């Protein structure tokens, strides 16, 4: 089953009020509620685009695939890339435990790589 997997992105972006964020980003209150409660039955492309623009991510970042336990799936099934692994959120714990000086060094390295891209 495909579902929205926005909590880690909200957390990484420091968004403490996701509903307010979505409404301010252009979603109707009804749609924002449905997205946050995973009650969305269909995905509109303009909604996916709006989410990606607002959260600075790509469509695969928004979705989580949870396979049905009763079915067997090939390991090379492309949907496997949308499964959450145990280490997906480890980076947050790593940064939280990192000494401040090391965190500054990591940030500097990231900034240098970003500057090299553009």
- pLDDT tens digit string along 52-80? 999 999 999 998 888 887 777 887 888 88
* CA 108 centroid distance within chain: 23
* CA 62 centroid distance within chain: 5
Give CA separation, 42 vs 9, 27, 75, 81, in Å.
21, 15, 26, 21
pLDDT tier at 115 (50, 70, 90 boundaries)? confident
pLDDT higher than threshold 80 for residue 93: no
Question: Which CATH fold would you assign to the domain 2-84?
Answer: 434 Repressor (Amino-terminal Domain) (1.10.260)
Q: Which SS3 state, helix, strand or coil, does residue 66 take?
A: coil
Higher pLDDT, 41 or 24: 24
């Amino acid at each position: 089953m495909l579902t929205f997997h926005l909590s880690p992105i909200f957390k990484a972006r420091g968004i403490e009020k996701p509903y307010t964020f979505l409404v301010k980003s252009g979603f109707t209150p009804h749609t924002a509620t449905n997205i946050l409660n995973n009650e969305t039955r269909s995905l509109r492309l303009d909604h996916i685009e709006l989410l990606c623009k607002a959260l600075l991510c790509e469509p695969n970042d928004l979705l989580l695939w949870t396979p049905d336990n009763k079915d067997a799936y090939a390991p090379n099934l492309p949907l496997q890339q949308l499964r959450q692994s145990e280490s997906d959120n480890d980076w947050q714990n790593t940064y939280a435990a990192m000494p401040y000086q090391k965190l500054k060094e990591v940030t500097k390295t990231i900034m240098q790589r970003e500057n090299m891209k553009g």
